[in-house]
Amino acid sequence: MSKHMLVMELCCPQCDALLTEGTKLPLDAYLRDPQREGEMRLSAIFGDYTMESDLEVKPGDTVEFRCPKCEAPLTIALTCKLCGAPMASLNMRVGGYLEFCCRAGCKGHALGGVGDIDQMMRMMNKMFETPYD
């Protein structure tokens, strides 16, 4: 039995540009202390927390993410329920959104934008391209 990978097609909530490139999600990143800017490539595979960057990012560092196309900030007015750091948000091409923690090493994230379990199942079926509705 093969294991299916759920690659999320994620878009900027401001300019609606598709940001997913293969299985990677390249984002502009800014670290305040010390001040550094660069690119971070997060995994676009749901449940995979790998990250690549030209920045030296230590566990616990908080990153400010921006859209690489329009430079809009991706931070939202919510804090992570696991660690208290700011959260960022991206839209999913199939509908809904992904919220994720901005602290390096934290696994806080959530899929949202659906009001009930039936809507969530339809969204998951679209992502897996299954014939069920």
Residue 83: which region, alpha, beta or left (left: phi > 0; alpha: psi -120 to 50)?
Answer: alpha
Helices and strands, number each (H, E), in the chain: 1, 9
pLDDT at 75: 96
Q: Which amino acid is at 64?
A: E
Beta bridge partners of 90: 98
At residue 64, does pLDDT exceed 80?
A: yes
- Domain chopping of the chain, boundaries: 10-128
pLDDT at 79: 93
Q: What is the mean pLDDT of residues 42-65?
A: 90
Task: Answer whether 8's CB lies under 8 Å from 26's CB.
Answer: no
Q: Which amino acid is at 50?
A: T
Kindly report, residue by residue over 73-125, the tens digit of the pLDDT: 999 999 999 999 999 999 998 888 889 999 999 988 877 754 555 666 666 66
Q: How confident is the model at residue 35 (pLDDT cuts 50, 70, 90)?
A: confident
pTM above 0.85, yes or no: no
